Every structure is written in structure tokens, then in C-alpha cells.
Amino acid sequence: MDAFIIQILNGLDKGSAYALIALGLTLIFGTLGVVNFAHGALFMIGAFCAVFLQQVLSISTVAIDETQKDFLGNPLKVETPYVENWFGPELGGAIIDWSVPLALIFAIPVMIAVGFIMERGLIKHFYKRPHADQILVTFGLAIVLQEVIKYFYGANPIPTPAPDVFKGSFDFGSLLGFDPNVIIYPYWRMVYFGFSMVIIAGIFAFLQFTTFGMVVRAGMVDRETVSMLGINIDKRFTMMFGIAAAVAGLAGVMYTPINPPNYHMGMDFLVLSFVVVVVGGMGSLPGAVLAGFLLGILESFASTTWATTTIPGINQIIIYLVAIIVLLTRPRGLMGRKGVMED
Amino acid sequence: MLGLNKNDRTLLVIVAVLALLAPFILNPFPTDSSLAQFNAGYPDLMQKFVIFGIFAIGFNILFGLTGYLSFGHAAFLGIGSYSAVWIYKLFTYNVIPAMMLSVVMAAIFALLIGYISLRRSGIYFSILTLAFAQMSFALAYSVLSNPKFNLTNGETGLQVYANDIQMFHRDGLPDFPHIFGLSMGSTSKLPLGAWEFQFNVGYYFCAILMILAFYFSIRLFRSPFGMMLRAVKSNQQRMNYTGLNSRPYTLAAFVISGMFAGLAGGLLAATDPLAGAERMQWTASGEVVLMTILGGAGTLIGPVLGAGFIKYFENIFSKINDQVLHQWVSFMPDGLEDFVVALIHPFIGKGWHLTLGILFMLVVIFLPGGLVEGGQRIGRLFGRKKRAEDTADAAAKTPAE
Amino acid sequence: MSKSDLTRRGVMKAGAAGLAVPTIFTAGSAAAYTNEPTGGSVTLGFNVPQTGPYADEGNDELLAQQLAVEHLNGEGDGGCLNTFTSKALQGNGILGKKVEFVTGDTQTKSDAARASAKSMIEKDGAVMINGGSSSGVAIAVQGLCQEAGVIFMAGLTHSNDTTGKDKKANGFRHFFNGYMSGAALAPVLEKEYGKDRRAYHLTADYTWGWTQQESIAAATEATGWETVNNVLTPLASTDFSSYIAPVLNSGADVLVLNHYGGNMVNSLTNAIQFGLLDKEVNGKDFKIVVPLYSELMAAGAGENIKGVFGSMNWNWQLQDDGTKAFVKSFGEKYGKPPSNSAQTCYAQTLLYADACERAGTFNPCGVVEALEGFEFDGLGNGPTLYRAEDHQCFKDVLVVKGAENPTNAYDTLEIVEITPRAQVEYAPDHPMFAGGDLGSCNPGA
């Protein structure tokens, strides 16, 4: 029972990362009809927004301390961050400590801008091209973005810790009457789960309850008719691209304390997120979210000792196995529409 | 002759001549010159060109004709390699039985995977093939290499050890894949002035198979069967309405292209007797997709060009380091030299991925038909000037559709 | 790459008849061995990961190799040439030939690594391949070098198999291995954490992970520890939460992470996230051990490594003359201290050059003979033996732990103990290394 609850919890936070990326992918695909292989790269850029902010906040004045030596025996350079000079060590330290949550504010405009530039500068020209061309050009873009980040930040992961108050884990089991330490769960992962729920709810509410969202939904169903009604649907779709980019970016920012970001983290997620989208059904937003959580939870269960001793290697293949089973039993994924990306 | 029309025959002859003279063509710069860095005429890279050429030709039979985008073709490449190395381990280093088993095993797996995956189309098909390939990779990398049942030797890759059975191996035969005693690794060097050209048995073995594969692909493109496959691409529904069941055709195309991939995998093991699991990873599947689209999907020569393009970058650009760069621009004044080096530095050596990514984008943006379209445009320019009706160059680049 | 007469004739008949008279083909017998240097220079091949997750480590190796070439050619301050016990190297290149090098990208993939090694051998005429950052690649390239008839000086490779069941006569490993990690760590762990501990292993699910887990489990069990569980994790995992969550509940009080690189950074970060180090199990503080450390992994894991034990081949903070000389020349040139993989590549390059010098030839068979059973000191690892039976270096091993109060970006690890060589030695036919065959040296041509 306790193992069951542990893996449900683990699955939820894995699932929330999958769901957020798949949601963004589906938004782009559903509105623009573009297969975006650079979506993983957007996730990665979001993560590096957090790294960037952390480093900007840590820009330091350098004072040479003759009493200490560095590794070559030269006098040690002591660095004090500017923010600590300006706001005092206490507040300044707190600002640096909170750099990941602060990066959310910073990442939103950056990611929307990146999305706009991508859509207007590149993707726009590929609406009428075959999906294969879209894949190739966005894959090329993903490599370029990745290499640019690598050029500046190197290939090694960069630690970006969560604020101190979120360190450690919460004893979930004691709430449910288990012994202490049986079911524990890190605070930051709980934050991540909550955050993703807010974003997902926000996107659905936005599409469901605003006029803008209504027009976009109408455009997703029948783009031509909507534009014939005199609505500039292209402009709205561009904005949706920006929003999708922001969703991926924010997911990336919040992910940095879970695993230190590196330049190829986007590629690690890319294939997986496509599997999620397809299992959910192309073009279906609820499908993407559902499949994200489903695969996250199943992946967690497959990694238990019980599962791996029953079927060796099940933890390596579970996602793909589920994808095959789902696609063979439900031709268009869990909630896919007929005729989308089938030719 | 050979059942080909004039254009196709010219194309085949050109490909054959290029392949057979590759040791000369790919080695245009004298060995000691600073541009020798760009020479690609050494056995390993030439082998890679033709082997991945075969892989891409096969992939194109499926994707170029039927439009089914498989994202899991690397699985067959890996299966081909593993089969070949197992023949080496158990029986003999002779490559003929090894290649045969590679193709047969790949065909069996392709039949199995194709039968299931082809029940869906579009991106659903792509993801199904991807899923099968990723499962094969994951299992080959770890589970199938456990000490009790070591089928793949995991991370290290399957290789021949001195204590393997090798039933038909005897003294006097090379301890390396060979064709009836002629080692795949033996190379003869021909120094000619400042140049040195290398002729490698393994390369010619692969090149001849590539020419055969290319011939087969032309015949297939022009056959009624090829026409049927194209019909699948243009409108499968209409085809079904006429009472034709398209699935046997697509399945046949899938199996054929899987066999090509198996042959390519076998050849990788024939020129270098090691089979690693990474060959099955999705990045390897993605690579052949990129090769085909980059060269020009659905064209005869495109996939081969794409394969050459990507392999060239991987092997040549990644080896250019700052020192080489300094040599090239050493004629410039010091300040300028450093500036130029700093400017080019991000694009070479460890930055070769960046160059490749940029080139992908440029090709797709400006040449929707891939490299073949680029060739066509040049050919047309050329043709207009010369008013030649059908220059050999243009013919070489004519797409099949 | 055999070049029998039969072969040559066959090719000429098949392809080159009428092209040229046969005499202008270089006959296989003209060169005594593969890529015999004929001009005034000799080419070494540096094959390191330049793309992919280990690119930074590869870059560090490359910097060290370039430094070694400088020192061999008599440029710079000479580095370890001044402290090396063998005085064969004069700073005038190797055997009077100027040292040049070519570089390649292994991408940390066996196929790509072999392709780039081949291009160095076939195209650039390299007589030696050095570098690399994973055991899979090292074993693959070692096999290739054996076939091609050049020397392979392994870079970072820690699997027992490299000098165990996959050992090759043309291959040499300076780096330590899983067995040595276990032998060095176990006594320190026993001293720090006591005899009565229960260990939970998370192991990367491939060859290196398995051999290391086997070594560590055997060594710790010998001191009285119990191995509660060993869970294999897929190499492609990025999130280890589902593997770490059950640890506390298993009754284990130590977590051993048999992971390397990105896997290790993530699994350790996740373990700290779960607050494992703040917990108490069986009345003891919970502990984490990372048997194989590297400086870059330590940097990637940041604060999380505080107090976590592991082992290393070498560390720049050592105080012997060889280390000081190397750190000084590396630090002054590149502005940072070298990593232990950089040191291995540097030492391997010098060792190769020295062996050629002592053998008086670049012939792989001569080099093998000169390196086998070679005793030396002054390269930073203390007195070292290149054992003839398996081409493994035997030297002191470092036990390190994450520093509690690092003063800069480079002293994140501190040396706990220098385990003497005698303690990490083993018989060549030790079961963990059995099954291989060194074979005989292959000079190629």
C-alpha cells in the first residue's frame, strides 16, 4: 500500500512535466498544424532563463584578499554579489536564494518573445509545407538553439537549487497513519505539481471562457470559415504560439531544482513528449494532459522492484509498450480526433 | 539495356562511376597540403558513405514512395549488425553468410513490426515504429546483455573474442571479416605525386552492393509495384475504394526497406566487426530520416547525397580544431588571424553540430526538394546557358516523380 | 588491417590494372608497422567526447593532451618532464621527431568513436590513440587499435572489463577501476560509518554499472556490511525519484549510487531533495556514497555533494612534486586546475612518449615491451607500476568527500585518504577480471 502511494506521488510529478510539455506541443499542433521538434528546446531555454537569472543575480564585485591563496598560490579573489552590496547580505542573499521562482517573472516575456520570433520568422513559412519539412526545419532549429546554449554555458549540468524553505521532504505517510519516513515527498516536487495544475487549469479556462479562446477554438476546427468572418485568425495563432512557448519555458524554469539543467535536456524530453501527445491523441488538449499523467504514473510503477523482478527491463520500455498497446486498441490515441495527421 | 530507359541508365552509370572512382574523387587535395583536412578518401569514411547510402536508399523506398514515415528504421540496422557478428562468433568471418543472415533477420523483424505498425497511418505509424525501435535499443543496451543470456554485450558492443567457437575458421584466413580469404580491411595505397589514394577491399565490396541496391531501387521505382506504392501516397482512400487492398503493398515496401537497412547494418559489421546498441537509438533512426529529406525524398539519388552530406560533416568538420584553423589563416596579420579564428571557432571541432543544424535549416528553407533541387536549379541554369537539352548533370538530379 | 600479398594482388587485379604499374603501390612490407612515421614529425590521435553530455570533460582532456604535446616538444615549462623518474624524454619531441596531433569527437558512442579513431589512423597516420570518457568507448576503441596495429592509451575508463575480460595487448590503462574503488573505499567507510551498515545500491543498467556494483558490494560486505537491495536504473533515466522514494522504507541506512556523469548528478540531486541525509534509520544517520567521483560531476551536483564519500584516480590538491608541476603548468595556461581525467590523459601521453624513447622505436611491439612492467614515479600518482599481465596501472587511490565549506569553484572535493597501492592490488586472474586474453601485440602492417 505504501509503495503504491509513493509511486502515485512520483508519477504525478513526472506526469506534470510530461503534461506541460505535451500541452504546449498540442497547442501549437492544434492551432497551427505544425509539428514542432523544437519544443524540447523551448523547455530547455526556459530552464536556462533560471540559470541566467541566477548568474545575473550573482554578478559580483571582486576584491583581492591577500591573506588567502587560490589554487596556484596567488592571492584569492573574494567575490561579493552586487545584490548583496545593494540590499545588504540578508535581503540580497534571499533574492539569490529565490532566483528560480523569480525567474518565472523573467521567463514569461522572454519565452513569449522567443515564441513570436520563431513563429513570425520561421514557422510561418512552413504552414503549407509537408510535415516532414516542418520536422526537419524545427529539428535543425532545436540543434542550433542547443548548441548556442552549449557555447555559452558548456555541456555540464548547472546546479540551480530551490529556495531553502523548499528543501527537504514532507512526511506524507504520517498524515495517513504510516510510520515516519515511509512515504516522504520533496517539497519542491509538490510545488511543481501544484504549479503545473495551475498552468493547465489556466490554459483550459483561457480557451473555454474568454472570447479570444473561443475564436482560437473555432479556428482550430475550421480555420478558413473563421477568417472569412473577418477575424484575423493568424494573429491569434501567433499569440497562441507565444503562449505555448511560455508554457514550455515555465515548465523548464520550475524543473531546474529537480534536475540541474544542461543543454541537451530538451532532446531528452522531446521523444517522450511526442509519445505522450500521440498516446493522448493528436490535437486533443485534455488527451495530452491525461496521457502525460498516465505515462508518468505507469513509468513510476514500472520502476518498482516488484515490477522489474517480474518482467526484467520493464522500466526501460514501459512508455513505448503502453504507446503500442494504446495505439493498437484506440486508433487515434486516447482522445484524438479523426483525420488529424493520419495521411 | 538492364531494363532501364535512357535517363535512368545514365544515372546508374554515373552513380557506378562515382562509386568506383571515389578514392580519387574524394581525395582532391595533396596529402601534405593544409586542405588535406577536407579529403574524404580514406576507407572508413568512404565505407560509411556507401553503407549509409544503402540505408537511405532503402528508407526512401518506404518513405519516398508510400509517404509512411518510419521513425524506427535504425532497429533493423542494429539487428543486421548483431546477426553478422553472431555469424562471425559462431561460424566464420566470411561476410557472405553474415550478410545473408543480416538481411533475413532484418526481414523477419520488419515483417513483424511492419505488420503491427501498418495498421495505423500518419504520425500514429511513426510513433509505433519509434516505440518498437526504442524498445529494441533499451533491451539490447541492458537486459539482453546480462551475464546469463548475453545476446548483445550491451554498452561495449558485440565483438568476436579469441575463445569464440568460429566453427569454420581456420589458420591462414584473416582474423577479420573477409570474402573468401580477402580481408575487408586490406588497403592498397597508390602514391601519385603529392597524392596518395587508398583502395580498400571493404569499400569496394560495399560500393558494389550499393550500386546493386541503387539499380534495384530504380527498377522498383519504375515498376507497377512502385506505381502502386505511389498511389498509396497520393490517395490511399481512393485506392481502397477501387477494391485494392493497399496493405500488402505497403507491408512489402516496409519489409524491403527493412532488408536494405539490415544489409547496411551487416555491412557496418563487415567493415568493422563490432555491433553496438547505439545503432538502434532513435537518433540513428532520425539520422536516416534527415538524410532522405535533406537529399530529396522520393528521388532516386537524393538519399545517397543526403547520406554523404551528413557523414561528411560528422567526420570532417568534427576534426577541425583551432590549430588547424590557425594554419589555414596563418598568412593573415596576427590580430586579424586571431579574429578570424575566433569568428570561425564556434562552427568547427566541437561546434560541428551547430554547423549541421544551420545547414539543415538553410537547405529546408531554400530548397524544399532537398539537395536534389539545388542540383536541379544549378542544372537548369547550366542547361539554359548551354541550351543543351538533357545534360548528364541534370539527368543525374532528375527526381523520380 | 592485414596486408597480405594475396590481398594486394587481388585488389590490383580487380581495380587497378592498367592504372599504374604495380611497383608504385606501397608494398605492405615497406613499412614495418602501421603508420611508421617517415618525416620529421609523428602524429598522435586525441579522441575525446566533444559533443554530448561529456563534452566538457572531453575538452579538459584535450587541453591536457595539448599541454603534454607542448612539453614533449620542449615548449612551456616542461611540466612533469622535470619530475618524471624516467629521464628518457629530452623535450625534443619523441625520438627526435616533432610531435603533432589530430583531434576527433567520440560523441561518447562506440560507433562514432571508432569512426573518428579510424579516420585518425587511416587518414592522418596517427600511431597512438589517447583519450575518451566512458568504458564502452574505451573498450570499443581498444579493440580497434588492436586490429589496426596502433597503441591505445585509455583515458577515463573505470570498468573492470577494460583490463579484464576485454583487455588487449595494444591497450593500456592508467586510470583506476571499479575493484580499486571498492578496495579503497570500504575501509574508509567502515571507519567512518561502522561495521554494521545496510546498503541500498542504485546501479546504472549497463556493463560499467554492473562491474562497479559488484566490486563495491563485495568490498563492503567483506567489512561486515549487508547489501539490502540492488536496483538497476535505465541509462536514459533523468528523474530518479521513483527509485529513491522506496529507499528509506527498505531498512537501508546507506545509499550507494553506482552512477556516472549526468545520471550521478541527477540521482544525487534527487536523493538530497528527498532529504535522505537528514534522516535517521536504524538509529544511525543516513549516508550516501558515490563510488566514482569526477570534478565535473561535483560541479554539476553543486552543494548536494557535501560530506558524500567517493573515490578518485587523482586530485589536483595532492602535494607531491609531479602533481604540483602539472597543476602549475595547466593552471597557468588555462586558468583552472585540471580534472582527474585530464591528468590521466596527460600522464598517458607522456608515458607513451617515454616508452617510445626507451624502446627506440614507435613500433607498437617495442612500445608494449617498454611499458610492460614499467615502474615510474613523478607523474602525480606516486610510485606506479604498469603491470605486464593486464596492462593496468597500479598506484595509490584517493578517497575523497564533498567539501563542507568550499572556498572556490575548484575545491569542492577534499582528500580524505590516500589509499596505498598495496591495498588495491589484486591477482591478474581475479574472478572479476577473468575471461580475457591479452593476446600478442599487433604492429599492423
C1-15, C39-53, C312-326: which range is least confident on average?
C1-15
Cβ contacts of C437 within 8 Å, gap of 6 or more? B161, B162, B163, C167
* pLDDT exceeds 70 at position B119: yes
Site from C61, C122, C139, C432 to mutate, B interface, most B CB atoms within 10 angstroms: C122
Please indicate, yes or no, if residue A140 is contained in any of the structural domains.
yes
Separation in Å, CA of C131 to nearest CA in chain A: 18
Q: What is the pLDDT of residue C238?
A: 87
Q: In chain B, which residues have their Cβ closer than 8 Å to the Cβ of A342?
A: 121-124
Q: Is B360 on the interface with A (CB under 8 A)?
A: yes
Mean pLDDT of chain C: 89
B239 at A interface, C-beta within 8 A:
no
Residue C28 has pLDDT above 60, yes or no: no
Most confident of B83-87, B160-164, C303-307: B83-87
With 80 as the cut, is the pLDDT of residue A342 above it? no
Query: pLDDT band for position B341 (50/70/90)?
Result: confident
CB A122 within 8 A of CB A137: yes
Q: Find chains touching chain B: ≥3 CB pairs under 8 Å.
A: A, C
Contact B162 C437 (CB under 8 A): yes
pLDDT tens per residue, range B133-168: 999 999 998 888 887 888 998 888 898 888 888 898
> Contacts of residue B353 in chain A, CB cutoff 8 Å?
143, 146-147
Query: CB B334: neighbour CB atoms within 10 A?
Result: 8
CA distance A171 to A9: 12
Domain span holding position A245: 2-329
pLDDT of B324: 81
Distances (CA, A) of B265 to A25, A85, B129, C110: 34, 62, 18, 15
**With 60 as the cut, is the pLDDT of residue C29 above it?**
no
pLDDT tens-digit readout, C391-435: 999 999 999 999 988 877 788 899 999 999 999 999 999 999 988
- Residue C23's pLDDT is 34
What's the count of helices (H) and strands (E) in chain B, helices before strands?
16, 6
Average pLDDT over residues B236-260: 90
Q: Is the pLDDT at B387 greater than 60, yes or no? A: no
Task: Report pLDDT for A339.
Answer: 63
Query: Averaged over C306-326, what is the pLDDT?
Result: 94
Using 50, 70 and 90 to split pLDDT, how confident is the model at C81?
Answer: very high
A253 inside domain = yes
Contact: A343, B121; criterion CB under 8 Å: yes
What per-residue confidence (pLDDT) applies to B349? Answer: 82
Q: Residue B163: which of B89, B87, B269 has the closest Cα? A: B89
Q: How far apart, in whole angstroms, are the C-alpha atoms of residue A32 and residue B18?
A: 43
B127, B146, B290 member nearest A275 (Cβ): B127
Mutate to test the interface with A, among C249, C284, C297 (most CBs of A within 10 A): C249
Please, which pLDDT band fits residue B180 given cuts at 50, 70 and 90?
very high
Measured between beta carbons, the chain C residues lying within 8 angstroms of A300 are 241-242
**Cβ distance of C246 and A70 shorter than 8 Å:** no
The whole-number average pLDDT for the span A9-31 is 90
- Strand spans (E) along B274-347: 274-275
Which pLDDT belongs to residue C12? 37
* Chain C residues near residue B272 by CB distance under 8 angstroms: 114, 118, 144
How many interchain CB pairs under 8 A, A with B? 127
Q: Evaluate if residue C265 carries a pLDDT over 90.
A: yes
Nearest to C205 by CA among B161, B158, B144: B144
Which of the four pLDDT bands, split at 50, 70 and 90, describes residue A251?
Answer: very high
What average pLDDT score do residues A225-237 get?
Answer: 85
Question: Per the CB < 8 Å rule, is A144 touching B354?
Answer: yes
Is pLDDT at C73 greater than 60 in this prediction?
Answer: yes
* pLDDT over 80 at B104, yes or no: yes
User: If you search the block for the grid coordinates 510529478, which residue do you land on?
Assistant: A13
**How many Cα atoms are found within 13 Å in the side-chain-facing hemisphere of C379?**
28
Which one is predicted more confidently, A224 or C103?
A: C103
Which chains, if any, share at least 3 CB pairs under 8 A with chain C? Answer: A, B
Number of domains in chain A: 1
Cα within 13 Å of Cα(B341), Cβ side: 19
Q: CB–CB of C315/C413 below 8 Å?
A: yes
Q: Averaged over A209-228, what is the pLDDT?
A: 85
In a domain, A336, yes or no: no
What is the rounded distance in angstroms from the CA atom of residue C69 to the CA atom of residue C327? 16
Residue C68 has pLDDT above 90, yes or no: yes
* Residue whose entry in the numeric block shows the C-alpha cell 539569490: A96
B-chain residues within 8 Å CB-CB of A341?
A: 122-124
* Domains detected in chain C: 41-174+323-390 (3.40.50.2300), 179-312 (3.40.50.2300)
Q: B185 pLDDT exceeds 80?
A: yes
Would you say residue C15 has pLDDT above 70? no
Please determine, for residue C43, whether its predicted confidence score (pLDDT) is greater than 90.
yes
For residue C94, the 8-state DSSP code is B
Residues C115, B43: C-beta atoms closer than 8 Å: no
Residue A343 in any domain: the answer is no
Residue C93 confidence (pLDDT): 94
Q: Give me the total of CB pairs closer than 8 Å, taking one residue from chain B and one from chain C.
A: 162
Q: How confident is the model at residue C30 (pLDDT cuts 50, 70, 90)?
A: low
Task: Tell me whether residues A135 and B357 touch, CB distance under 8 A.
Answer: no
- State chain B's mean pLDDT as an integer: 89
Considering only residues C397 and A68, tell me which one the structure prediction assigns the higher pLDDT: C397
CB-nearest to C299 from A76, A156, A169 is A156
Q: Is B343 on the interface with A (CB under 8 A)?
A: no
Cα C137 from chain centre:
11
Q: Kindly report the nearest CA distance between residue B184 and chain C, in angstroms.
A: 8
Local confidence band at C1 (pLDDT 50, 70, 90 cut-offs): very low
Query: Quick one: pLDDT band at residue B309, thresholds 50, 70, 90?
Result: very high
Using the predicted structure, report yes or no on whether residue B29 has a pLDDT greater than 80: yes
pLDDT, residue A172, reads: 81
Query: For the residues B188-214, what does the mean pLDDT come to?
Result: 92
- Residue C375: CB atoms within 10 A of its CB come to 11
What single-letter amino acid sits at C378? G
Best residue of A152, A303, A321 to probe chain C, by most C CBs closer than 10 Å: A303
pLDDT at B336 over 90: no
C374-C375-C381 Cα angle (round to 5)? 120
When mean pLDDT is compared over A133-137, A253-257, B314-318, the highest value belongs to A253-257
Mean pLDDT over A90-113 rounds to: 91
One-character DSSP codes across B123-182: HHHHHHHHHHHHHHHHHHHTGGGSTTS-SS-GGG-EE--TTS--TT--TTS-SS-EETTE
Q: What one-character-per-residue DSSP string does C119-134 give?
A: HHHHTS--SEEEE-SS
Is B134 in contact with A282 (Cβ distance < 8 A)? no
Residue A340 forms part of a structural domain: no
Closest partner CB to A161 (pick from C57, C229, C303): C303
Cross-chain CB nearest to A327 (options B127, B142, B293): B127
CA of C301: how far to CAs of A158, A213, B54, B87, B231, in Å? 8, 42, 44, 45, 56
Which of C379, C314, C381, C374 has its CA nearest to residue C81? C379
The secondary element (H helix, E strand) that includes residue C24 is none
Compute the nearest-CA separation of A160 from chain B (Å). Answer: 26
Confidence category of residue B344, pLDDT binned at 50, 70, 90:
confident
- The percentage of residues in chain A with a pLDDT greater than 90, rounded to a whole number, is 48
CB-based contact (8 Å) between B67 and chain A? yes
Q: What is the mean pLDDT of residues A12-39?
A: 89
C136, closest residue in chain B (CA to CA) = B156
For residue C337, give the chain A residue with the closest CA. Answer: A71
Facing C239 at nearest CB: one of A14, A71, A184 = A14
Q: What is the pLDDT of residues A263-321, one digit of tens each?
A: 989 988 888 888 999 999 888 899 999 999 999 999 999 988 888 888 888 888 999 99
| Selected residues 7-26 of chain A with any CB under 8 Å from a CB in chain C | 7, 9-11, 13-14, 17
Residue A89 belongs to domain with CATH number: 1.10.3470
CB < 8 Å to A328, chain B: 116, 119-120
Q: What is the pLDDT of residues B52-76, one digit of tens each?
A: 999 999 999 999 999 999 999 999 9
**For range A133-158, the mean pLDDT:** 91
Please write the tens of the pLDDT for every residue from C328-380: 999 999 999 999 999 999 999 999 999 999 999 999 999 999 999 999 999 99
pLDDT above 70 for C19: no
Closest chain B CA to residue C237: B138
Residue C368 CA to residue C364 CA, distance in Å, equals: 6
Q: Does B368 touch chain A (CB under 8 A)?
A: yes
pTM of the entire predicted model = 0.91
Lowest mean pLDDT among A101-105, B147-151, B297-301, C22-26: C22-26
pLDDT at C49: 94
Question: Does B142 contact C1 at a Cβ distance shorter than 8 Å?
Answer: no
Query: Which element (helix H / strand E) includes C189?
Result: helix C178-193
Give domain status of residue A342, yes or no: no
Instruction: Determine, for residues A157 and C262 on separate chains, whether the beta-carbon distance falls below 8 Å.
Output: yes
Report which of C124, C32, C103, C71 is spatially closest to residue C359, judged by C-alpha positions.
Answer: C32
CA distance B142 to chain C (A): 5
Could you tell me what percent of chain C has a pLDDT over 70? 93
The pLDDT-based confidence of B1 (bands split at 50, 70, 90) is low
Are the beta carbons of A278 and B127 separated by less than 8 Å? yes
Query: How would you write A159-216 as a 3-class SS string?
Result: CCCCCHHHCCEEEHHHHCCCCCCCCEEEHHHHHHHHHHHHHHHHHHHHHHHCHHHHHH
| pLDDT at C444 (0 to 100) | 84
Sign of CA dihedral B289, B291, B292, B294: positive
Residue C181 has pLDDT above 80, yes or no: yes
